[in-house]
A and B are shown apart, each in its own frame.
Chain A
Amino acid sequence: MTLRADLRLDRDSGFRLELALTVEPGEVVALLGPNGAGKTTALRTLAGLLPLTAGSVRLDDEVWDEPPGVFVPAERRRAGVVFQDYLLFNHMSALENVAFGLRARGTDRAVARARAREWLANVGLGDFVGVRPRSLSGGQAQRVALARALATEPRVLLLDEPLAALDAGTRVRIRSELGRHLDEYAGHTLLVTHDPLDAMVLADRIVIIEDGRVVQQGSPAEVAGRPRTDYVAQLVGLNLYRGTARGTAVDLDDGGLLTVAEPTEGPVYVAFPPTAVSLLAEPPLGSPRNSWPVTIADLEQHAHTVRVRLDGTPPVLADITPVVVAELRLSPGTRLWATVKATEAVTYPL
């Protein structure tokens, strides 16, 4: 029972989606990408809210969409959706919201209400049965939306930015709760998000899309450790370069030379964390491998470090402590030397 989708869609705006996806039973796949990459569009085609222009959506041997002949509309797909802003029905109580899908699929009224009650208890809202959505907090509304989608026992669960509307504190708690429910759910889950942390924590596999196309996919660890586009590198907070390796020396495509610990040959990516970069006021003495002159473009305070964006050949991000910023009197325009330890730079083939 595999969800296989070859999503092809042309929009009037000129946007084109070309996305092949498979989701195994019990698997959680995160679709990660910047705004406008086509994540929500992909989700809507799977839900049956948007017909494909070509390609197909199949759940095992069941065809859900295959233009021009087949299109199973949303109400007959058994795909549960948790929408970004939940879209709870405001004129119904929490219980009626959760029972709605069961009633719509012909479940007896009393049975539907009993099961909705169980689901609300399951998401920790047993005391909120009669409450209207307007009186629920963001986190509670999210949980009602999840219960509403899961109560119908969908074969595919689609989550559209399920945590985006929550404040930071609630988000952490709801994320771990959502993780628990996704672990228990035996169907196929697709999670659409622009937050790499959601994807890393909740997904078994991450598919990264930009401009309607897959640019990288793999386990969270693979994606986090070996980014393949600037967007992904930015998401996971790594310096990423493309170049040609000759032994331990890598000639970077956009200028500059880096030395790495593991010798390889041919076109490679080189990645290292901003914490691997040291900044010096004077050129280092001795063998100046992996050190080059840079100019500060800007400084940004993070929790306990300062991220420094540096122009140079190559440009680089460095994380340093506020103490260093104070000692070296750093400000945009300051000229420095950057050095990177060869052992911290990983290479992997293109």
Chain B
Amino acid sequence: MRRRGRLPAVLVVPALVGLAFLVVPLAGLLVRAPWTTLTDQLISAEVGQALALSLVCASLATVLCLLLGVPLAWLLARGDVPGRRVLRALVTVPLVLPPVVGGVALLLVLGRRGLIGQHLHEWFGVSLPFTTAGVVVAEAFVAMPFLVIAVEGALRGADPRYEEAAATLGASRWLTFRRVTLPSIAPGVVAGTVLCWARALGEFGATITFAGNFPGKTTTMPLAVYLALETDPGAAIVLSLVLLVVSVTVLVSLRDKWIGGVS
């Protein structure tokens, strides 16, 4: 094969260092894993509990994000609302906000004495902080911008004239959205969902701040990893490995099925 000259070292060297920087820590996890006691650790009740809780909460948070985030993305991309640029900026704030700050903010609003939380408690007897529902809320808060941005990008890339064609055929905007817009942006929605789910699965800061750490109730995998690190580093590694395997498996399987054809 003929080449267009050699690759410049000034790009190749930092690229390799960058690659190592990303891959070596993961390899470290594998190297230091307590392989002999691995199976015992894995079937221990705590790991199973934390894993189940993580999967359930991340999935519920993703569903919540889809229900609210897709319409929000549509509004940002298609709705003729004033101050759209400001809205778009606001949506991305949780993306750059330190998750702990997000947790504090959630406490101030949804906490038992929070702006909205006090009424929730008074009127409905509902209290979100330090509950499993609180975990879902914290994860959704942090993960939703990923979904909104992905879906909005897909919507802005989709030709709005198809929606006009649907309108001339008598379709309402809701029908047009369901039958024309949504199918055409499906790959973007799937990509956004995967990102959103992965972010929710790994959520730590907002969760521990807003939902606390109660095993079986709010102790998700990342929290379990962090706590185990102080008492039983071996267990922390096992938990980390499980989290790594689960995320990679989901990403790869979805990528092959959906995203591969698009990118």
Contact = CB atoms under 8 A, between A and B. Distances in A.
Nearest to B159: A87
A80 B170 CA distance: 9
Given A89-B180, A90-B184, A104 B162 contact: no
A74 B164 contact: yes
Given A87-B161, A90-B184, A91-B183, A79 B167 contact: no
A203 interface: no
Interface string B56-74: 0000000000000000000
Contact of A100 (B159, B161, B169, B172): B169
B170 A101 contact: yes
B229 interface: no
B165 interface: yes
Contacts of B263: none
B171 A80 contact: no
Contacts of A47: 164, 168
B175 A104 contact: yes
B179 interface: yes
A80 B166 contact: no
A206 interface: no
Given A89-B180, A90-B184, A91-B183, A152 B169 contact: yes
Contacts of B179: 89, 100
Interface residues of A, number: 24
A104 B171 contact: yes
Contact of B166 (A48, A77, A78, A104): A104
B184 A148 contact: no
B115 to A, nearest CB: 39
Nearest to A83: B165
Nearest to A89: B180
A148 B169 CA distance: 8
A75 B170 contact: yes
Interface string B188-227: 0000000000000000000000000000000000000000
B180 A49 contact: no
B175 A80 contact: no
A101 B168 CA distance: 8
Given A100-B171, A104-B171, A87 B184 contact: no
Contacts of A87: 159, 161-162, 164-165
Contact of A81 (B168, B183, B184): B168
Given A91-B183, A91-B184, A100-B179, A105 B170 contact: yes
Given A89-B180, A91-B183, A83 B161 contact: yes
Given A91-B183, A104-B175, A49 B164 contact: yes
Contact of A49 (B159, B168, B173): B168
B178 to A, nearest CB: 11
Contacts of A333: none
**B161, B164, B170, B171 interface centre (most CB from chain A within 10 Å):** B170
Given A91-B184, A100-B179, A81 B165 contact: yes
A73 interface: yes
Contacts of A91: 183-184
A253 to B, nearest CB: 44
A48 B165 CA distance: 11
A47 B175 CA distance: 19
28 contacts: A47-B168, A48-B167, A48-B168, A49-B164, A49-B167, A73-B167, A74-B164, A75-B170, A75-B171, A75-B173, A76-B170, A80-B168, A81-B165, A81-B168, A83-B161, A87-B162, A87-B164, A89-B162, A89-B166, A91-B183, A100-B166, A100-B169, A100-B171, A101-B169, A101-B171, A104-B171, A104-B172, A149-B168
Interface of B: 159, 161-162, 164-173, 175, 179-180, 183-184
Given A79-B168, A87-B165, A89-B165, 10 more contacts: A48-B167, A49-B167, A73-B167, A74-B168, A77-B168, A87-B164, A89-B180, A100-B179, A104-B166, A105-B170
Those 10 A-B pairs whose CB atoms lie nearest each other, nearest first: A101-B169, A104-B171, A74-B167, A87-B165, A81-B168, A104-B170, A105-B170, A91-B183, A75-B167, A74-B168
